[in-house]
Structure 1
C-alpha cells in the first residue's frame, strides 16, 4: 500500500530509467533501486523480490487529472504535461527545477472553450512539441499543438512558414497553439510517429483514424481509415507503418500502407482498457482488460514478415496471425494500469486497485530446435542470444539420445553373441536382459527346452501359461515331500513341488543346478566370488541348506569389514527354532530394522506358517528371477499360475525389463518393451531386441514397425549410414523369407535387360550357383550382355569393354559372419568396387570406378575427347576423400 491515496495510473519515465510516476488524486514520483538499497529509506515499497522504490516527491495541486505525459528530453528533472477535465494542459515539475528559469513550471495552455482533454503527447524527437486532443465544440478545433520552447532565437527552419505565426512574442504568445486542426470534430486519442517527427495519428469522431503531416499547409488528413476502434491509438516503436487501437473488446492492428482496412483483429474476452507496444521487443503488444488480474500479450512477429504486393491500386499483404498468451504480474489483485520500461528488456510496472505496485519481467517465448550434428539442442534466450546443449552436456544430464548415439558408434546390439551387447550397454538392466536372451537361446539350441515356437521362451511358456486366459498349469506336475535337517536342530518336513515344466522355468530363472549335487555349491561359490553374500545365503536357505547359508554369511563378514553385520545375522540364524510359539520366531517374524532384501526374505521364509510365503514373494528388493524360482519350488499348482500372471501384469505396467524372463519374446513382450520405451525413450534397445530375437510374425506388429522406423530415422538423421546398414542386415537375417528385392541395376542399351548374369539367373537354385562356384572360385569377367551378347560400353580411360563379375564370389571364411546369420566355412561377397560401372549423370560418359577415380584426382572435366562437361564439379557431394573411402 502507498498511503491513503489510490493510485490508478502508472508510467515509467522515458529518460530516467530508475524513475516512474503514479497519479490519481495526486501525482507522485518514485525512484527505483535494488531492494537492499532502498529498504532503509522512508516511504519504501517493495516492487519485486529484487527491486523496491521510495517516494521522491508528490504533487497534489491538480484535480480531475485525465491524462499525463512525461517530456522525453534528457534533463535531470522530469517535466510533466497534465491534461485536465476542463481542457487545460499544464506543465509541472516536482519542486524547484531547471524549468523554473524557463518559465515552464506551472505554465497553462488553455483552449478557447472549456471541454475535456482526452490525451496529451510529447513529440519523441522534437521534445519542444506538445499535442493535445479535446472533446468536440462547435466552431473550435479539437487538435491543438504547442511549441513550449518557442523563442525569437529558436531555429524557425525546423517548422514550416505556416507554423511560425506565433513567433512575435514568446512570453505573451506561449499559451497559444501554433497549430490547430479538426474544426468542430471530436478527438479521442493521439500518438506521434517515432521516425517521422512531423506526423501524428489521431482517433476521431468515434468512426475514423486520421493521419496528419504538419508540413502540409492545408492541415488536412493525409490518410483516413473508417473504424470504431479510435481509442488508445499507439504506433509500433520499431515500425512506423504499424499501429494499434482498441474499441470495446477488440484490438485492431493497422498498416499505413493498406489503411483501408485492418491487418488483424484480436477479439478479447472483456472490454480493453489499455494497449501499449513493448519498446524493447519487436512486435510485442500488451493489453489490459477491465476488471482483470492478468495482462494479455500478443506476439505479432508474423506481421513484420508479411509481404506487401501492389496489385493495381490495391495493396495486398500475406495473411497475418498472432501468438497470444497471458501473464500474472505479481499479485492477483485487479490491475488498473501498466507501463513498459523504456530500456530494460520485457520489463513492465503494474498498479492494482488498492495502489499495489509490481515490477515484473515478461519471460520470452522459447523457440527450440533439435539438430543432428554436434549441437543437438538449441534454444533462444532473449532477443539476441542462442543457448546450446552440446553432446557433452547431454552425457552429463544422462540424456538418452546421447547414450543411443554413443552406443550406436560401438555397434551395440549388433554383436554376434547376444551377451556381448550387454557389456556395451553400460546399464545393469540391459546387461542382464542381453545375458538372459543369450542363455535362453542356448537352452533352445541345446535341446534343454523343447516344444516352444519361440527362440527365447519365457517362464510362462515353460509352465504352459502363455495364453492370456490361462489359469491352470499343464499336466505332469507332481508333489513330493522332502525331509530336511536345518542345522541338526530338528527333523523338519517341508513341501516342495517338482515337475519337468518347473525345472525348465528354474533354468530360465538362472537356477540351473540340482538341489542335492555339487552344482548348487558351485553356483553359490560363484555368487560369493561376486560378493553377493546375502543372495547366496538366501538361495542356500531356500534350498534347505541353512547351515551352508550361515557359513556364507560368516565368510562374508570375515572377508570385508564393512559386512561385519553379516556375522550378527548368522548368529541370529543359528538360533532358528521351528516351534510356533518360540521367542525366536516372535522376534524374527518382523525384522523391520534390516535393510538387505535377501536377509529379510530369509527371515520371512523361516518364520512363514501354513505354506504362506507372501512376504518372500512380495519382497521388492529381490530380483524377479529369484522370486519366480522360489515360487516354482514352493507354490502349489493352484497358486503358482495366479502369482505368475499377477507378477507379469505388474512388470509390464512398470516397464521392467526383468519381466521378459516371464514373457519371453512373445506378444506380451511387445507391451512390456513399449512401456519401457515410454518411460525411458530408449528406442534403440527395443528395436535391436526385436530385430535380433523376435519371430518374423512379431516383427509385423504395428508397435514393432514403429520402433524400427523411428530408430532407422534416428540413425539417418545422424548420418550413421554404416550402422543403419548393419541394422538392416540384422533385421533381414531374422526373416530370411522377406529379402529386399533388387532396386537398381544396369541395363543393356540394346535389349534393355540387366547386364548381370546373377540377375539373369535368379530362377536358378542356390545349389546351381554353388556348383558353379565349385568349378571356379569366381565367375568369369563378362564384357558383353548375357542376354543379347552385344558388347558393353568401353571405359573412357582404358578403352576396354567394361564388365564385372556376374554374381557373388565364393570365398573361404576368415572370421565371424554378420549378426543373425549361420556360421559357414564359405561366404559370398560382391565384386570389387574398382571394377564397378561408373558414369556421369550429365554427359553419360564413364568407365571403371578405379580409373575414373584416378582421372578426377587431377582433372575436373570429362575424360572423353571433345566433351566439355565438368563432371567432377557437377556432383556436389563428390570429393577425393569420399571416393578413397568407397574404394577402401
Structure 2
C-alpha cells in the first residue's frame, strides 16, 4: 500500500471479503476480534480485523478494477490497465479456470489507457470498458467473455494468439474519450458514459444508432446509477456534484456545490437516495441525503433538495472508500495509514413532548422513548417536570408570598419569595413609603433606581464613630447612617435601634443559630461591633456542630482581637485567613484586619449572601463608594441571572431584565410569570417581555391540560391588575353565529316599561334568532323553543326596573346541553330528568349524558335557583 494510488472495494457477492489495489491487488477477509490478534491481521475497527488471504502481483499499471457480480464461491476480477487491455484474473486456482476465463485478455485495436471497466449486473457474460481517445477507433467496447469470437477461433486456428482472436461484440464512441461509465440495473444492454469532458451519453447496444440520449455537461467523472432507481444518476466535476434524472436529461435536477474538489462520490446501496463523497485534503466523509429527486412522480411543484451532513471517521486523509453491499451504512476507507471499517450512524430525530416524554428513532426500524418516571430521564434535569409538580401544588398562587418559597424546591427562589413578603410588609406598614410599587429595591429606596445618576439624589449620610462597647475598648468604627440607609437595611433583613445604633433584632440571630448558620450569625454580630456576642455564638455552635474544633479555634482567635495595626495578632490573622473554608469566617477576619476602611475582601466575598454584603456596604461605605459598589453589583448579578439581585433592583424595569436573564439560563418560565403577576406593578405587566412569559406559561398549562391551574393563574393575574375579565362565554346562533345573549342584553335596557319589551308580567320569550330568524333549538323534555333571554329578565315595576335591568333570571330557564350528543333543554327540565334516568331524553339517543359530567360523578347535583 505504498503507492499514491489506493482503492478499496467490497465484494458484491461475499459480505466478508474485499480487495484493495495500488501497486498490487490484495484480497482480505473480515472477522470479529477475538481474545488474541495474530500479527498478520490488520485491526480495522474496535470490533473487526482483516485477514490477508491472497495477493496478486502479476499486473502492473492498474487503472480500474471491477469484481464479477454473480454468486460464485471464488472472486473473478476484470482489471483495466494503462495499455487498454482488460485482463480477467483471480487469486489462485478457481472454478473460473475450467471456463477459460482466468488470464483472458480483452485488448483494443490500438493501445491507450483504460479508464473504466464494469461487469453487466444482469448478464454475467458481458463486460464493458471505457478507453482514452484514438483517432478512428472506438472508446466504448462491449465484450462477451463466453461467446466471443475467441472461442471459435481457438478451435480452428491454434496458431493464432489469444489477444489477436478476441473481438468486442459491439462498439461505440468513435474518436472520443470515455472518462467513466455505469450500467443501468434493469436494462441489460443500456449504459451511461461520460464523454470528452463535454457530454453524458446513454448508449443502447440493441440499437444500431446506439446513442439514444445525451446532455452537455463537464461533470463526467465517478458516473454511477442509483441502485434503487434506474432513472437517477450522479457524477461530479471539480467541486461540484450533479444529480440527473434520465426522464429530464436536459439539465441536472440538483447541483451540490462543495467547498473542495470532489475525489469520489458513490450511491449507498442500502439506503435510498443517500450519497457519500470524499473531498481533496479532507478527512471527513460528506453525506448527501437527496430529497424529492423523483421529479417525474413528485409533481412539478416539488423542488429537489439534499440534507447534507459531515461525519469524521477515525481515518486520516482517506484516498477512497466503498459502501458495504448489505450492511446498512457500513463502509471501508483506505488511506496511506491503513484501512478503516466504519458505520455511519443515522440521524436521530428527537421529539420532546410537553408531558415529559422523550422519543427518538432507533435503527430506522423502531421508536424508543423514556418518560419522567425513568431514572435516566431524571438525570436530564428537565425543568418541565419540576414546573408541573409546582403547578399541582399551587406554587406562586398561595396567599402569603413567603409560603410559595417553600414549594419552589430551590434556595434562591425561596429567598426571593421571602424577600417579596418582607418588602411588601415594610410598604404596607409605612416603614417604606412606596404607594405605586409594593416591592421597592435598595437602589430605589436610596433613589438610585436608574432615573437618578448621581449620589446627590439621596440625602447625605451622617458619619458616626461607634465604639466596641462589649469588650471595654475605646476603639471606634466609622459607620454611615441616614434614614434611607436604615430603610434599605431593613430590606436586607437587618433592623437597628435608632437610639443606640445597635442591632436589636435578636430573633434574626436566633433563627440563624436554629438553622445551624453559626458562622453567619457570628459574622453579622462582628459587623455590628458585637465581638463578645460573636464569640458566644461560636462557642454554642462548637458544642453542636461536627466541626466543633474549628469553631473553638476561631472563637479563641477572635478573643485576642487587638486594634493595634502592628500587632502580632493582626499579622497572623492576615496570613491564616485564606485557610478558612467558611466565607463568613473569612469575611469576619477581613473586616477586623482591614486597613484605612478598605473593605474589598468583605464586599467581594462571593460566598456571603448578597443581602449581607449589601447591608455591610450600607453601614461602612461612604456615599460615593456605596453608589459605585451597588451599581457594579447590580450589573454583575443581572448578567449572571442571579435572583438575589432582585434585592437591589426591586420590581422595576431592571428587575424585569434580571428575570429575563434568569429565564434564559434556567428556562423557568413558571417562576418568572408568577413573580411578575404577584410583584410587578400593572404598568410593568404590560411590558412585551412579561407578556411573552405569561402567554408561554399559560400555553404550557393548556398543553398539559391543567385547566384548574390555568384558571387560578388567570384569576391571580386579573387580581393583580384590578381588571375586570371580559365575557368569554356566549350563546350564539347555530346558523348565523351571532350572539343571542348580546342582542337580548340590548333589549333588556330598552326604554320605559311599555317600550319594545312591553310592560306585561310575562317573562320574555323568543323562539327564533333575532338576527337570521332561524328557529332556536327545542327543549328535549317540553319540546318548546329554548327562548329565554339568555340569563336576563326585566322587572314589571317601574321602581325596581333600573335595579333589575341586568339581574340574572332563574337558572331553570338557562340554555343547557350535553357536550357529547349536543342534545339539551331548559336547565330545570334536564336536571329533573337525570334524577330518574341515565340516558339522554331524545329518542334513539343512547348517550349517558349525566355520567359524563364530573360534577354529577361527585354527587353535586345542580339546584334550581
Relative to the length of structure 2, the TM-score reads 0.83
**TM-aligned CA deviation for residue 842 of structure 1:** 13
Does residue 1:378 correspond to 2:359, yes or no? yes
Match of 2:757 in 1: none
| 1:49 Cα offset (Å) | 5.4
Residue 367 in structure 1 maps to residue 364 in structure 2: no
Secondary structure (helix, strand or coil) at the match of 1:232 reads: strand
Q: Deviations over 1:766-789 (max 9, x none)?
A: xxxxxxxxxxxxxx996547999x
Q: Deviations over 1:542-574 (max 9, x none)?
A: 222211211111111112334332112111211
Aligned to 2:797: none
Query: What pairs up with 1:377-416 in 2 under 5 angstroms?
Result: 377-392=358-373, 393-416=376-399
In the alignment, is the contact (CA less than 8 A) between 2:241 and 2:255 conserved in 1?
Answer: yes
Q: Tell me how far 1:234 sits from its aligned partner.
A: 0.8
1:266 CA drift (Å): 2.2
User: What is the CA distance between 1:346 and its match in structure 2?
Assistant: 2.5
Give the deviation of 1:263 after TM superposition: 1.6
Query: Using the alignment, how far apart are the partners of 1:556 and 1:841 within structure 2?
Result: 65
| Equivalent pairs, count | 818
Kept in 1: contact 2:791–2:810 (CA 8 A): no
- Residue 683 in structure 1 maps to residue 669 in structure 2: yes
Q: 2:465 aligns with which of 475, 481, 484?
A: 481
* Higher mean C-alpha displacement, 393-402 vs 581-590: 393-402
1:200 lines up with 2:191 in the alignment: yes
Counterpart of 1:847?
Answer: 825
Report the CA distance between 1:53 and its aligned residue: 3.8
How far is 1:844 from its partner?
9.3
Out of 179, 199, 203, which is 1:188 matched to? 179
1:344 to 323, 327, 333: 327
What's the counterpart of residue 410 of structure 2? 427
Which residue number in structure 1 is paired with residue 563 of structure 2? 578
Determine whether 1:79 maps to 2:57: no
Q: Which residue of 1 aligns with 2:490?
A: 507
Give the conservation status (yes or no) of the 8 Å contact 2:25–2:56. yes
Pairing 1:744-763 to 2, within 5 Å after superposition? 744-746=730-732, 754-755=740-741, 759=745
Given the alignment, which residue of 102, 111, 122 partners 1:105? 102
Partner of 2:624: 638
Q: RMSD in angstroms over aligned alpha carbons?
A: 4.3
1:501-560 CA distances to partner (integer Å, 9 max, x unpaired)? 222112111113547789533322221111111111111222222112111111111123
* 1:408-446 deviations in Å (ceiling 9; x for gaps): 232222222222221221111111111111121122122
Alpha-carbon offset, residue 598 of structure 1: 0.8
What is the CA-CA distance between 1:635 and the residue it aligns to? 2.1
2:549 maps to 564
The counterpart of 1:492, out of the listed 461, 475, 495, is: 475
- Residue 171 of structure 1: CA displacement? 7.8
**Aligned-partner SS, 1:638:** helix
CA contact (8 A) 2:446 2:488 kept: yes
SS of alignment partner, residue 697 of structure 2 = helix
- Match of residue 268 from structure 2: 278
> After superposition, where does 1:658-677 map in structure 2 within 5 Å?
658-677=644-663
Q: How does 1:325-344 map to 2 (within 5 A)?
A: 325-333=309-317, 335-344=318-327
Q: Which residue of 2 aligns with 1:651?
A: 637
State the distance in 1 between where 2:857 and 2:192 align.
68
Q: Within 1, Cα distance between the matches of 2:718 and 2:691?
A: 13
SS in 2 for 1:253: strand
State the shift of 1:657 in Å: 0.4
C-alpha distance after superposition, 1:707-729 (max 9, x if no partner): 22222332333333333332222
Is the counterpart of residue 65 in structure 1 residue 62 in structure 2? yes
Partner of 1:29: 27
Structure 1 position 250 matched with structure 2 position 240: yes
Change over 3 Å in CA distance of 1:227–1:561 after alignment to 2: closer
Instruction: Find 1:259's aligned residue among 246, 249, 258.
Output: 249
Q: Which moved more, 1:17-26 or 1:128-137?
A: 128-137
Give the whole-Å Cα distance in 1 for the aligned partners of 2:480 and 2:657.
31
- In terms of mean alpha carbon deviation, does 698-707 or 284-293 score higher? 284-293
Query: How many Å apart are 1:92 and its aligned residue?
Result: 1.2
State yes or no: 1:318 paired with 2:292.
no
Paired with 1:803 and 1:711, the residues of 2 have a C-alpha distance of: 39
**Cα distance 1:349–1:781, how it changes in 2: closer, same or farther (>3 A)?**
farther
1:295-336 CA deviation, whole Å, 9 max, x = no partner?
433210332598445xxxxxx472111123444444553x43
Cα distance between partner residues in 1 of 2:442 and 2:359: 47
Given the superposition, is the C-alpha separation of residues 782 and 168 from structure 1 closer, same or farther in structure 2, using an over 3 Å criterion?
farther
Check if 1:692 corresponds to 2:664: no
C-alpha separation between the residues in 1 aligned to 2:692 and 2:481? 42
* Alpha-carbon offset, residue 664 of structure 1: 0.8
Secondary structure, aligned partner of 1:587? helix
Query: Do the aligned residues in 1 keep the contact of 2:29 with 2:52 (CA within 8 Å)?
Result: yes
Secondary structure of the corresponding residue to residue 605 of structure 1? helix
CA 1:518 to 1:592, structure 2 compared with 1: closer, same or farther past 3 Å?
Answer: closer
Once the 2 structures are TM-superposed, how far is the Cα of residue 628 of structure 1 from its aligned partner?
1.2
Q: Give the aligned partner of residue 313 of structure 1.
A: none
Residue aligning to 2:587:
601
- Whole-Å separation in 2 of the counterparts to 1:88 and 1:750: 86
8 A contact 1:781–1:804 mirrored in 2: no
SS in 1 for 2:444: helix
Instruction: Tell whether the 8 Å contact from 1:348 to 1:360 is kept in structure 2 after alignment.
Output: yes
Measured in 1, the distance between the counterparts of 2:403 and 2:607 equals: 27
C-alpha distance in structure 2 between counterparts of 1:830 and 1:615, whole Å: 69
Q: How does 1:136-147 map to 2 (within 5 A)?
A: 136=133, 141-147=138-144
Q: 1:389 to 1:177 in 2, by over 3 A?
A: farther
Deviation at 1:129, TM superposition (A): 3.8
Q: Residue 10 of structure 1 contacts residue 23 of structure 1 at CA under 8 Å; is this kept in 2?
A: yes
- From 114, 119, 128, the counterpart of 2:116: 119
Q: Determine the C-alpha separation between the residues in 2 that align with 1:500 and 1:132.
A: 99
Alpha-carbon distance in 2 for matches of 1:516, 1:106: 110
Q: Distance in 1 between matches of 2:282 and 2:807?
A: 75
Structure 1 residue 683, shift from structure 2 partner: 1.4
Match of residue 721 from structure 1? 707
Rounded Cα–Cα distance in structure 2 between residues aligned with 1:458 and 1:206: 76
Q: Indicate the larger mover: 660-669 or 458-467.
A: 458-467
Gaps of 5+ in 1: 151-163, 310-315, 765-779, 809-827
Q: SS state of the match for residue 130, structure 1?
A: strand
Aligned to 1:8: 6
Alpha-carbon spacing, 1:132–1:576, altered in 2? closer, same or farther (3 Å) = same
What is the distance in 2 between the residues matched to 1:751 and 1:287? Answer: 61
Structure 1 stretch displaced more, 503-512 or 717-726? 717-726
Distance 1:710 1:781, change over 3 A: farther
